[in-house]
Amino acid sequence: MTLAFTFPGQGSQFVGMGRELAESFSSARAVFEEVDDSLSQNLSKMMWDGPIEELTLTSNTQPALMACGIAAMRSLKAEFGVDITEAKYVAGHSLGEYTALCAAGSLSLSDTAKLLRIRGDAMQAAVPVGAGAMAALLGASVEDAEAAAKAGQTKGICQIANDNAVGQIVLSGEKDAVQAACDAAKEMGVKKAMMLNVSAPFHCDMMAPAAKAMKEALADTVFEAPLLPVINNVQASPVTDPEKLRDDLVAQVTGRVRWRESVQWMHANEIETLAEPGCGKVLTVMLRRIVKGMKGVTLNTAEGLEAFATELKG
């Protein structure tokens, strides 16, 4: 099995996330405890007991999802002898890129938790509530989405934020501009264009204040060379240089998440299986829309981790 580990972004969180791993494995519990200590917050209690309104705040969601991904990876190694280097690549969707970098040894767990808290706070504070918006275009090509965004730009900032999968593209920007882009997409015959219920317009130029905050935070953070190449959101191709990885995390805040291209690159370079550790199955479901026949595996239960390790070892 030629393998890559891929880590999800916002949207995969739910009350109870990570609880089974913590109850099953001491290695997972240790991850949640270290994240709690790093943030001086009982984040794990919020993850397991809610309330969902607090868990879905960006500043909580981001470190929570990262903690679940790292808990799964450390449990794989401690309990079943599966190391990150069994894979050829790692990748992560938006905040998931931080999880990938932590899993690959570029960032310490404590630093990753603190960076994601800063990132969540900065992204939320970058734009006044109600000023920005995001919208999903379903059934649209990249060319359709670019044309719709261009139409929206007559009203203000409007950009492709996420190129998630074939026919699944997300726009981000000023509210009136994104609405105008949706109207244009419908006129062009795009299957569905719908505004999303989000707290801020991520991955567009409105996030420039957050990018500045992350540049300052990342400048003070120790980056090591990853144990294996990272297919990052900005390049959609392998990156191993620590300084390039650092710079691209800043660019990622306002830039497009090139997830479809990242998966297609891995498929073209002989990756057969994408494993999604931590929480949910968003990336595994997206995979079906990107590459036919490529295998996706979710790793978020004790049973799932054991079955994966057994298959991997033949």
How high is the pLDDT of residue 204?
98
How high is the pLDDT of residue 314?
78
Options 106, 203, 262, 267, the catalytic residue: 203
Question: Which is nearest to 44 in space by CA: 25, 65, 74, 24?
Answer: 65
Q: Enumerate residues 6+ apart whose C-beta is below 8 A from 192.
A: 136, 137, 138, 139
User: Do the Cβ atoms of 22 and 33 come closer than 8 Å?
Assistant: no
How high is the pLDDT of residue 125?
96
Catalytic residue check, 94: yes
In this structure, is the dihedral angle defined by the CA atoms of residues 41, 45, 46 and 51, taken in order, positive or negative?
Answer: negative
Q: Which two tokens stand for residue 99?
A: 């999880």
Instruction: Locate the domains of the chain by residue range.
Output: 3-126+206-312, 132-198
- Dihedral of the alpha carbons of 159, 59, 196, 260, in degrees to the nearest 10: 50
CA dist 147 and 238 (Å) reads 29
Catalytic residue check, 267: no
Within the chain, which residues score under 70 in pLDDT? Answer: none
Q: Enumerate residues 6+ apart whose C-beta is below 8 A from 264.
A: 290, 291
CA dist 170 and 175 (Å) reads 14
Topology alike, domains 3-126+206-312 and 132-198 = no
Rounded to 5°, the CA angle 107-110-115 comes to 70
What tens digit of pLDDT does each residue of 276-285 get? 999 999 999 9
How high is the pLDDT of residue 4?
98
What tens digit of pLDDT does each residue of 193-219 get? 999 988 899 999 999 999 999 999 999
CA dist 285 and 129 (Å) reads 31
State the alpha helices, DSSP H only, in the chain.
19-24, 26-39, 43-49, 52-55, 58-80, 96-103, 109-125, 142-152, 175-187, 208-219, 242-254, 259-268, 282-290, 302-312
How high is the pLDDT of residue 39?
98
What tens digit of pLDDT does each residue of 36-83 get? 999 999 999 999 999 999 999 999 999 999 999 999 999 999 999 999
Taking phi first (over 0 means left), then psi (-120 to 50 degrees means alpha), and beta for anything else, what does residue 50 get? left
How high is the pLDDT of residue 86?
96
Options 38, 44, 94, 262, the catalytic residue: 94
CA dist 17 and 52 (Å) reads 11
How high is the pLDDT of residue 273?
97
Half-sphere exposure in the Cβ direction for 88 (13 Å, CA)? 14
DSSP codes, 233-265: TTTSSEE--HHHHHHHHHHHHHS-B-HHHHHHH
How high is the pLDDT of residue 44?
98
For helices 58-80 and 26-39, angle between their N-to-C axes, nearest 10 degrees: 150
CATH code that applies to domain 3-126+206-312:
3.40.366.10
Tell me which fold the domain 132-198 belongs to.
Alpha-Beta Plaits (3.30.70)
CA dist 12 and 237 (Å) reads 24
